[in-house]
A and B are shown apart, each in its own frame.
Chain A
Amino acid sequence: MSTDNLRRGSLEIIDSKKIISRGSLYVAQARLTAMFKWIWMILAIAVANPVLYLLSIGVGVGAFIDKNAGPAGIDGVKYLTFLAPALLATSAIQGAIDESAFPTLEGFNWWKNFFGMNATPISGNQIATGVFLASFVRVVGTVVIYWFVMLAFGALESSKAWLAIPTAVMAGVAFGSITQAIAAQIKDDNIFFVIFNRFIVMPLFLFSGTFYPLSSMPVYLHWIGWISPLWHATELGRYLTYGHAMTRDMAIMHFAILLSLLVVGVTLSRRLFTKRLAK
């Protein structure tokens, strides 16, 4: 081969300082390249999901509820307006789970491509961060689309409504980062999914004040809301989109809880990725 003579060698062509500073971006690039193979599917889900939910439950069930609730409405607004912020945060969380759990299980268990990445200068920390960043991009896209659909449905009543976007993104990536840390520990993924979806994600979706205020549930079930990132994001979302009553301290607390979950999730997944790769 004529090209054989052109070999210069890695000592000449590689700049390890550059990799050490940008490694996570390269990993995110790999994840986004993979994600773009499904871009139409991802976009279809991102649009169909809010349209179908807001139509069927927001408008459909909403008509029935609004008639019975009288002029006071639910929390002072139409049921659609009440429900929409919860669904916004739910879609963020769902997207984040997809982009955290699957790549992590693939990388460690199914295809083991994380071990391939780690044989290059890329570190475990960078792989964890890269997966997180790609998931972040998907969540932002999903939330922005959802928000515009909400706008089209007339579910945004406050001038602060745009702030519901970063709040929902934060809930999504916080949940995603925790999922990523858990998935990094998983050896038997079939059981993981059954447990995770049926016993964690589903109950959180149903009991986080999504369809009715947490306060209308029996007191002994309120703890589910408190441990659920979805409830904290929903409360903030309701405050921001239509002015749901909330003290400043409560708003700060909701925000602080989401932020701490995010910090814990990212720190833990970086640590667990590194640990598992070094074995």
Chain B
Amino acid sequence: MSTSLVTARGLTKKFGDFVAVDAIDFDVAKGESFGLLGPNGAGKSTTMRIVGATSQRTSGDLTILGMDPEKFGPQIRAHLGVVPQQDNLDMNLSVSENLYIYGRYFGLSRKYLKTKIEELLEFAQLEEKRDAKVESLSGGMKRRLTIARGLVSEPEILMLDEPTTGLDPQARHILWDRLFRLKEQGVTLIITTHFMDEAEQLCDRLIVMDKGKIMAEGSPALLIKEYSTKEVLEIRFGSERNSSMANQLREMCERIEELPDRILLYHEDGEVLLEQIYSAGLHPKTSLVRRSSLEDVFLRLTGRTLVD
């Protein structure tokens, strides 16, 4: 057997006539940080629930840790740490009780859990909240507790569904830092996100999903190289004039995307392009040169932005 922890071939999930996941193929290698990037409704969470061995696939082949989740659900789940999109902590219990009881679900002993809980409280920066009721925690704290809970069993694979959605920038950065540490320890991560910066920060390799299908696959750098230019020039002429100006600009760059509020011009050197635009006697209201991101890759692949 190879070092592949997850192997999916033609993985499909239908809800009635609706095809949520449409015959996708992917592999996740041991120690890798693997991302599923796509807008809401792309089929990411459904894929996560199937890989999490709670939801059954409609067709296709799937092997997780060498086992078929249809036959060995509990045996597979014993080695997964799952952080769902929506926190589902036990609100009856305190912070440390949540960790303890969750550990019990994995059959872990009181002795093991006693030391593990201390370690996890430190990891989640919740030492002072150990006896607090979960209800009283902030959104960021709940999220960190949910992640800590997912780690109680030292899982082979940690699965995070939209880990930072709804968090403020500071809380996001704390979380990213925690996830980096796990990655350094060799924990295999599977992450879904609709934030391109998150995917770029955390994922070694990712698949871009839309409408249940895989649009592209590769490392963030490779995807950007393959599907976009090095730089992007964003300019605004005001919503009235954007579309008429776009026609004039089309000749000057490799590719152009018109968004409702701005025009994106793809070019190897954004500053040079901006010079040319001024030389041509055009005067955009605002301009910004930036490096290409996964957002541009997604736009190229689907004609839509990630966050509508």
Contact = CB atoms under 8 A, between A and B. Distances in A.
Interface of A: 1, 3-4, 7-11, 13-16, 18-20, 22-23, 26-27, 29-30, 33-34, 37, 106, 110-123, 277-279
Contact of B153 (A10, A33, A277): A10
Interface in B82-137: 82, 84, 86, 88-93, 97, 101-102, 104-108, 112, 119, 122-123
A26 B88 contact: no
A37 B92 contact: yes
Nearest to B65: A11
Interface of B: 52, 54-56, 73-75, 77-80, 82, 84, 86, 88-93, 97, 101-102, 104-108, 112, 119, 122-123, 149, 153-156, 181, 185
Contacts of B78: 10, 14, 16, 19, 120-121
A95 B86 CA distance: 31
A22 B107 contact: yes
A10 B64 CA distance: 14
A103 to B, nearest CB: 9
A11 B77 contact: no
B79 to A, nearest CB: 4
A34 B93 contact: yes
A29 B101 contact: yes
B183 to A, nearest CB: 12
A125 to B, nearest CB: 10
A231 B90 CA distance: 36
A73 to B, nearest CB: 46
Nearest to B123: A1
Nearest to A26: B104
A16 B80 CA distance: 12
Contacts of A14: 78-79, 106-108, 153
Contacts of B93: 30, 33-34
B52 A119 contact: yes
A13 B52 contact: no
Contacts of B77: 119-121
B89 A33 contact: no
A31 B240 CA distance: 61
Given A30-B101, A33-B101, A7 B74 contact: no
A26 B90 CA distance: 14
